[in-house]
Amino acid sequence: MILKLLLIIAVISIVYFFFIKKKPLKKDSKKNNEKNEAKQQSNDMIECSTCGIYCEVDDSILSNGKYYCSRECMEKV
């Protein structure tokens, strides 16, 4: 009688842990999501300090705290 009860409890617990209980998210996946969000923000458009044209942050040149669309605009100042 006790053996049957223990066997039923064991089967129920195995089914619970393998199929019902959700696994916690890995910390690495949260870090990857943060990196992806940072990449999206790096494609923000900024205005050239000299000519006023908007260009992406990745394509622009940063000099003395100002963004420029090209070397020519940077050298004009």
Residue 21 has φ and ψ, to the nearest 5°, of: -65, 130
- Residue 5's H or E segment, with its range, is helix 2-15
Q: What is the pLDDT of residues 3-41, one digit of tens each?
A: 999 999 999 998 888 887 766 656 655 555 565 555 545
Residue 48 has φ and ψ, to the nearest 5°, of: -65, 135
The hierarchical CATH code for the domain 44-77 is 3.30.60
Task: Give pTM, 2 decimals.
Answer: 0.46
State the CB neighbour count (10 A cutoff) for residue 53.
14
The helix/strand/coil state of 55 is strand
Q: What is the pLDDT of residues 31-52, one digit of tens each?
A: 555 655 555 456 788 999 999 9
**Domain spans in the chain, listed from the N-terminal domain onward:** 44-77
